[in-house]
Structure 1
């Protein structure tokens, strides 16, 4: 049996190592949790506390939290996340899993469920629908912007903060949650820079700067719709009443396409699994119990 505190876990993939944690009761249904862009596994801590009867396995995606960054000659293409997930579930080797994904993590989980249904028992999307798309006529401009962003990234340096609290406060400026949730992410997503005799200790966020580069390609709308239509597992979308603009655009496009998707809208913002964990947990509990 696991105790009340999440247990640290690590998984060696082909070329990098993923770090994460596991909570809940051994032998209970296993839910693999995938966080959103620039978040980390700790975004699921409130949900783990609200779902003690399940096993939650949350990992830091490559370039996030405590997991390895991609090699110096690589970038963070969306389809590579799907490959990471395939390697991970193969290493876990626990049979079909319940996948829980927030935002970008939900997109990765959805693409994976469509392509590899044998590994997925059910799909829970937390304020996440479909995939990011771009019109075909923007292909050249997308490529240009991506290459220029790679060049600009070479001149960028990470900001440093005098304390962990200061790093969390900076994250708070770009978020829809409170300081308590920002500290959860900061405790896992920052690193202390060694100080010399002339300089006090400093904290910086550990996320790879390449995560902020413009993507070199996007799915076309037709490609995204075809992929989502191939998701045959039962699904639950838990949507926030006060979400981000991208979700408002995704709803009319993707909601009619999922073959087996239940939808629940809860009061809250994009990170409602952190700010309203009990309400989100109740939806997940009922959904998984019905499978």
Structure 2
């Protein structure tokens, strides 16, 4: 197993939520917020962050994930609310300008943030994630109804109980996007809490509910078109984006970005390919 690098951990209160943050690098270096994917946590950057040169990497457990607090009772998890959270966190830390690194859902949040506040973003680095699943505007009523019904029913659901940490790690290894044992271990250990009879994930069950609304393709294009920061997008050859219809037909929109296809799956930044991911981002940051 790879040696775990030294990491600083601290908390920030923003938007009424306690956010847990893992940090790597000297405090005097330019800040880089790192945002994880859906149902992951800040530990997903434990292998990549120490390899990135020239930054103070701040990996945030997003609301409802990892060791961060949950949204108030009865409140849904809308992806754009994470944009407000990150702006609030940056303001609390006194950071007017900063760079962004995002994986999967975290990449989507970074795109929305960089498109909404282009004057605050230095550089944008994305891993197998750039815009959310889009839908036609005519689908909005059914989508909202589905989400509201989900909110009504979520209180009846219970989290899976794992008798041991090893069983929880095994379940994460075989999830929607499979992980090696080493990668699954760091995410799982950070994401679990001890309860009577075993262990459960800390993550909020509401994260699994349908979105209240989805962006249309025109919405997604507008956010991408508004980005002014130099942007590097790494796509996994066995990932989830390369074959999406809207990605295939958006090459003109993305031509000003630096785009690389690397071997590996959706979590390539946590697996054997992490060195290649870091090399690409370091070259990009150095202007090469």
TM-score by length of 2: 0.93
Determine if contact 1:98/1:122 at 8 Å carries over to the other structure: yes
1:210 aligns with one of 206, 210, 215? 206
Which blocks of at least 5 consecutive residues in structure 1 are unaligned?
A: 196-200
Q: For each residue in 1:59-116, what CA deviation from the matched residue of structure 2 results, as whole angstroms up to 9, or x when unmatched?
A: 1000000000001021101221111111011112233211000011111111111111
Match of 2:269 in 1: 273
Matched with 2:88 is: 87
5 Å-filtered alignment, 1:93-112, equals: 93-112=94-113
Aligned-pair distance for 1:151? 2.6
**Is the partner of 2:244 in helix, strand or coil?**
helix
Task: Mark the CA change 1:211 to 1:246 in structure 2 (over 3 Å): closer, same or farther.
Answer: farther
**Most deviating of 273-282 and 219-228:** 219-228
Tell me which moved more, 48-57 or 21-30.
48-57
From the superposition, tell whether residues 235 and 147 of structure 1 become closer, same or farther in structure 2 (CA, over 3 Å).
Answer: same
Which stretch of the first structure deviates more once superposed, 127-136 or 102-111?
Answer: 127-136
For structure 2, the 5+ residue unaligned runs are none
Residues 247 and 157 of structure 1, relative CA distance in 2, 3 Å threshold: farther
Deviates more, 1:247-256 or 1:165-174: 247-256
Q: Which residue of structure 1 aligns with residue 51 of structure 2?
A: 50
Does the 8 Å contact 1:33/1:56 carry over to 2? yes
Structure-1 separation of matches of 2:209 and 2:250: 26
Tell me the CA shift for residue 22 of structure 1: 0.6
CA shift for structure 1 position 247:
5.8
Contact between 1:35 and 1:103, CA under 8 Å: does it hold in 2?
yes
Contact 2:29 2:56 in 1 (8 A): yes
User: CA offset at residue 12 of structure 1?
Assistant: 0.8
Inter-CA distance 255–57: structure 2 relative to 1 (3 Å threshold): farther
2:48 alignment partner, SS class? helix
Residue 185 of structure 1 corresponds to: 187
Indicate if the aligned counterparts of 1:235 and 1:262 stay in contact, CA closer than 8 A: yes
Structure 1 runs (4+) greater than 4 angstroms displaced = none
CA-CA distance at 1:133 after TM superposition: 1.2
> How many angstroms apart in 2 are the aligned matches of 1:30 and 1:191?
30
Is the 8 Å Cα contact of residues 241 and 247 (structure 2) preserved in structure 1? no
Give the TM-score normalised by structure 1. Answer: 0.92
What does residue range 137-152 of structure 1 map to in structure 2 within 5 Å?
A: 137-152=138-153
Within the candidate set 215, 221, 239, 2:217 is matched to 221
Within 1, Cα distance between the matches of 2:242 and 2:209? 18
Matched, 1:230 2:232: no
Which of 56-65 and 94-103 deviates more? Answer: 94-103
- Displacement after TM superposition at 1:289 (Å): 0.8
CA contact (8 A) 1:130 1:254 kept: no
For residue 152 of structure 1, report the CA deviation from its aligned partner: 2.8
Contact 2:35 2:102 in 1 (8 A): yes
